[in-house]
Chains A and B, each alone.
Chain A
């Protein structure tokens, strides 16, 4: 099949970027989207042009390193799927595909489709952990956790930190990301002790990083590759309010 690509090219953080046209006429529907990009790059390299820089590593939807806007949607047309898991069979022969970086003030573009998502690490650093040192742990079965609660904590903990939630949000809010970690830890007895402090410091860091505020459009949930629910945001708000009142 044949596709027409319009890809964002930007030499570095300071340079101005623009959409550049490319044509691919040997696309196979079974190819993954990133394999299509590899094929394009192979051609550019042989012509001596700089290939399109894009982020990726595991290519199986779990590391969270890949992620671009495809026709205006984070990770492309499929629901709950990472860019690396998207296949060309989701497009039609003759389609024009716009490929752009995840855009947010907190995610500056580094080159082409690569953005800086280190703000996420700093949000985790503000309290997204249990303060336990190596060696301090008690016997694992000494604190029972119900099956349902463990599963629910897992649902929140499954976030891969790709940033699609931010990219898709009209406010560039990191509420889904931050709330997923707050919820994961507050659901488990091990994480409960620090819950109040965590809610305050993580939310404060999120604001400091220039992410926008959540206005409950729920767009993030639709794009999230791990189906992280917006109920996590409700829980974060509750934990935050509780912490404020009880402070």
Chain B
């Protein structure tokens, strides 16, 4: 199998224009005959569904929450990037492109990344027009701030709730179409299967989570915008319901998965405090603009942080990466924290955290200024920990956060199944081996508002004569039976261990062996252990009740069943990539100073993976990456 990314011809800066100029169009009269399924109502899904409906297509939209507005995009705090250059600090589309390519450690496609930077301009315009209340300067113009990994100020924000405000803009656009009856919205519905007819994506099987009923839905194209699967680590910054199930079930129907092991471990989350814990709350990275990260110079220093004098503190990011200091990219910051924690300098009850200190900023700018910038984060911190971070430093620690990997897509965001598109965090897309802060809200929006309307239309132009898709075809019935079989199997084991028990075990295995740092031995060990855990799962899982009713435990069990398979693929992915790049740090491949050692000669490609069945090793299909516009350099932030 050969992968064709379908990159348009011409110079980098003209590729997207070239594509738009040549994409096939669908006559408005024909659009209402064409149906599109959009799974997911986060930024990617809501924006795609609303935009396609505005164009005149018939759209069906799905999410598992009880309202489209609750998709996990809502939780993004920090901001969204755009190369507007409003600060006159030398920003440009090219510079944003370059920062993103470099931030991703040269493991993403030039053309995709350039398009992302290019479309960032229109996204801010779109959001403002929808009424997104971005932060403003006193003169009335838009303000922005800087974020990790870059030297310009290009991050737009709505206090500490940027994701919420962007999502409300997209949600309102979606709901406007729902009210106009151009979108049929199904909340509390979970996708269980993709239906493929004669090689093309033609529908999905979903479960109504309130009643347990199974439904078939057909369409001319299917878009998956189902978000990230960092929740596979159990403890993560994601929501409880985030999952890999939608993309994984599509993977089993022929869609390749790319770079599944590239998970961003965020440096500034709250540390774990006990085994009962269900999630790790993120403290926005924007805090690193004013907070300084340190640990005591002395191991197991028993003193309170404020009692440790300046000269006995190790500001290890400022020490190791003087050019970027506390704003070093996430992978580097997280690894540096892990290095200190593993070396015995961790702080807090479990010795698993580092300090994030605002005393200097408060001294220089005043408490009021800091409050205005981060007030909601400080109060969130206080709610969770009972500590006043204006008076003493926060305690932070790395946590699983973002999936750079996902379904493989070409330039059109189409997977290897014709008619199946993947948008937002669900695809592997634009972030390479490490995502820059504030680029993924952008990516989700750009995919949905600006890319899908062109590329999905280009695909649908060939479907005008197809006619309605019959959901009684044997392929639909087979897929439905498949879904029911798994549900009934999970509900009938009636063992004595909960889905959460397995999820926690799996999460720990992955965090230890396929997390911030990996090595061959650990990965092989993890694969063997996950297989054992999987056997145990199918023998001893406890799910009360049946599949024919509302059953939250059954939902969890289904997600864990998929995670157990995804986890194995993640380990294979990490095992076969004999280099360190971005978030993927292989201990065998590092410099004497402990920095990542990339191998461009052998690994300048994206690993896409095919499903070979439950007991077979997956099939590796590389997509070579060619760089025509940038030189592959060592990513130095020193």
Q: Which residues of A contact B (CB under 8 A)?
A: 12, 28, 30-32, 34-35, 38-39, 42, 44-46, 48-51, 53, 55-65, 78, 81, 85, 87, 89, 110-111, 114, 116-118, 120-122, 124-126, 128-141, 143-147, 150-151, 153-154, 157-158, 160-161, 184-185, 188, 190-191
Report the count of interface residues on B (CB-CB < 8 A): 83
Question: Which of B173, B187, B384 is in CB contact (< 8 Å) with A87?
Answer: B384
The answer on a CB contact under 8 Å between B74 and A130 is: no
Q: Does B252 contact A (CB under 8 A)?
A: no
Q: Could you say which of A28, A31, A55, A89 contacts B66, with CB atoms under 8 Å apart?
A: A55
Chain B residues contacting A61 (CB-CB under 8 Å) are: 380, 383
B74 touches A63 (CB 8 A): yes
When each residue 532-550 of chain B gets 1 if its CB lies under 8 Å from chain A and 0 otherwise, what string results? 0000000000111100011
B84: which A residues are within 8 A, CB to CB? 140
What residues on B are CB-neighbors of A188 within 8 Å? 131, 133
Q: Considering residues A12, A121, A126, which has the most beta carbons from chain B within 10 angstroms of its beta carbon?
A: A121
Q: Please state if A145 and B136 are interface contacts (CB–CB under 8 Å).
A: yes
Q: Which 5 A-B pairs have the closest CB atoms?
A: A144-B140, A137-B129, A125-B179, A129-B172, A137-B125
- What residues of chain B lie closer than 8 Å to A132, measured between beta carbons? 126, 129-130, 173
A38 and B278 in contact (CB under 8 A), knowing A110-B210, A117-B66, A134-B453?
A: yes
Contact residues in B for A121 (Cβ distance below 8 Å): 67-69, 175, 178, 185, 187
Q: Which listed residue (B54, B179, B544) contacts A48, Cβ 8 A?
A: B544
Chain B 82-121 interface mask (CB, 8 Å, partner A; 1/0): 0010100000000000000000000000000000000000
Q: Which residues of B contact A128 (CB under 8 A)?
A: 172, 175
Chain A residue at minimum C-beta to C-beta distance from B379:
A80
Asked if B28 is at the interface of the complex by the 8 Å CB criterion, the answer is no
Residues of A within 8 A of B277 (CB): 35
Tell me if B475 is interfacial: C-beta within 8 Å of chain A. Answer: no
Please determine whether B496 and A46 come into contact, CB atoms closer than 8 angstroms.
Answer: yes
B124 at the interface (CB under 8 A from A): yes
Let me know if B500 is at the binding interface, CB within 8 A.
yes
Q: Which of B125-164 contact A (CB under 8 A)?
A: 125-131, 133-142, 158-159, 161, 164
**Shortest distance from the beta carbon of B157 to any chain A beta carbon, whole Å:** 10
CB distance from A177 to the nearest CB of B (A): 12
Q: Of A62, A125, A138, which contacts B129 at CB under 8 A? A: A138
Which residues on the A side are within 8 Å of B239 (C-beta)? 57-59, 63
- Asked whether A58 lies within 8 Å of B210 as measured between CB atoms, the reply is no
* Contacts known (A55-B66, A117-B67, A121-B175); A129 close to B133, Cβ less than 8 A: no
A87-B384, A130-B130 known; A58-B74 Cβ under 8 A: yes
Min CB–CB distance B506 → chain A (angstroms): 16
Let me know if A59 and B240 touch, CB within 8 A. Answer: yes
A60-B281 in contact given A118-B67, A137-B125, A144-B139 (Cβ < 8 Å): yes
| Contact of B359 with A by CB under 8 A | no
Task: Tell me the B residues contacting A by CB distance below 8 Å.
Answer: 47, 50-51, 54, 65-70, 72, 74-75, 84, 86, 122, 124-131, 133-142, 158-159, 161, 164-165, 168, 171-173, 175-176, 178-179, 185, 187, 210, 239-241, 273-274, 276-279, 281-282, 380, 383-384, 386, 449-450, 453, 494, 496-498, 500-501, 542-545, 549-553
Report yes or no: A184 in contact with B50, Cβ–Cβ below 8 A.
no
Q: How far is the CA of A118 from the CA of B133 in the complex (A)?
A: 25
Chain B residue numbers with a CB within 8 Å of A125 are 175-176, 178-179
The distance in angstroms between the C-alpha atoms of A50 and B175, with both chains bound, is 34
Instruction: Please name 13 pairs of A and B residues whose Cβ atoms are closer than 8 Å in the assembled complex, sorted by A.
Output: A12-B550, A31-B276, A51-B544, A57-B65, A57-B70, A62-B161, A64-B67, A117-B67, A122-B179, A128-B175, A140-B129, A157-B158, A191-B131
**Contact across chains for B164 and A62 when beta carbons are under 8 A apart:** yes
Contacting pair B175 A45 (CB below 8 A): no
CA distance in complex: A44, B241 (Å): 21
Asked whether B133 lies within 8 Å of A63 as measured between CB atoms, the reply is no
Q: Name the one of B51, B75, B494, B552 contacting A60, with C-beta atoms under 8 angstroms.
A: B75
The answer to whether A140 and B124 have CB atoms under 8 Å apart is: yes
Contacts A53-B550, A188-B131, A190-B131 known; A130 to B172 CB distance under 8 Å?
yes
Give Cα A38–Cα B274 distance, bound, in whole angstroms.
14
Contact, CB under 8 Å: A130 / B140? no
Set of chain B residues within 8 Å of A110, measured between Cβ atoms: 210, 550
Q: Which residue of A lies closest to B159 (CB)?
A: A154
In the complex, chain A residues whose CB is within 8 Å of the CB of B542 = 45-46, 48
B141 touches A144 (CB 8 A): yes
Of the listed residues A60, A122, A133, the one surrounded by the most CB atoms of chain B closer than 10 A to its CB is: A60
Q: Which of B47, B70, B175 contacts A64 (CB 8 A)?
A: B70
Is B135 a contact partner of A62 (Cβ separation < 8 A)?
no
Q: How far is the CA of A145 from the CA of B129 in the complex (A)?
A: 12
Residues of A within 8 A of B50 (CB): 134
Contacts of A120 in B (CB 8 A): 67
B140 touches A146 (CB 8 A): yes
| A38 and B277 alpha carbons, distance in the complex (Å) | 10
Contact A46 B175 (CB under 8 A): no
Q: Which residues of A contact B282 (CB under 8 A)?
A: 60
A45 to B281, CA, bound (A): 27
Other than A51-B553, A64-B74, give 12 A-B pairs with Cβ distance below 8 A. Answer: A50-B545, A51-B544, A59-B279, A78-B383, A132-B129, A134-B126, A134-B450, A140-B128, A144-B136, A145-B136, A147-B140, A158-B164
Bound CA span A12–B74, Å = 29
Nearest B residue (CB) for A187? B133
Nearest CB in chain A: distance from B533 CB, A:
18
Which residue on chain A has the smallest CB distance to residue B240? A57
**Residue of A110, A129, A146, A191 with most partner-chain B CB within 10 A:** A129
Residues of A within 8 A of B72 (CB): 57-58, 63
B93 CB to nearest chain A CB (Å): 15
CB-CB under 8 A for A39 and B276, given A57-B72, A111-B550, A161-B67? yes
Residue in chain A with minimal CB distance to B84: A140
- Interchain nearest-CB distance for B543 vs A (Å): 8
Q: How far is the CA of A236 from the CA of B450 in the complex (A)?
A: 35
Q: Which of A53, A58, A154 contacts B552 (CB 8 A)?
A: A53
Indicate if the CB atoms of A158 and B161 lie closer than 8 Å: yes
Contacting residues, chain A, for B75 (C-beta < 8 A): 58, 60, 62-63
Residues of B within 8 A of A31 (CB): 274, 276
Asked if residues B165 and A154 are in contact (CB atoms below 8 Å), the reply is: yes
Q: Which of A45, A137, A138 interacts with B544 by CB under 8 Å?
A: A45
CB-based contact A85/B383 at 8 Å: yes
Q: Do B51 and A134 touch (CB < 8 A)?
A: yes
CB distance from A119 to the nearest CB of B (A): 10
Docked Cα-Cα span, A61 to B185, in Å, equals 25
A129 touches B164 (CB 8 A): no
A240–B3 CA distance with the chains assembled, in angstroms: 58
Instruction: Compute how far the CA of A131 lies from the CA of B550 in the bound complex, rounded to whole angstroms.
Output: 37
Inter-chain contact B69/A64, CB cutoff 8 Å: yes
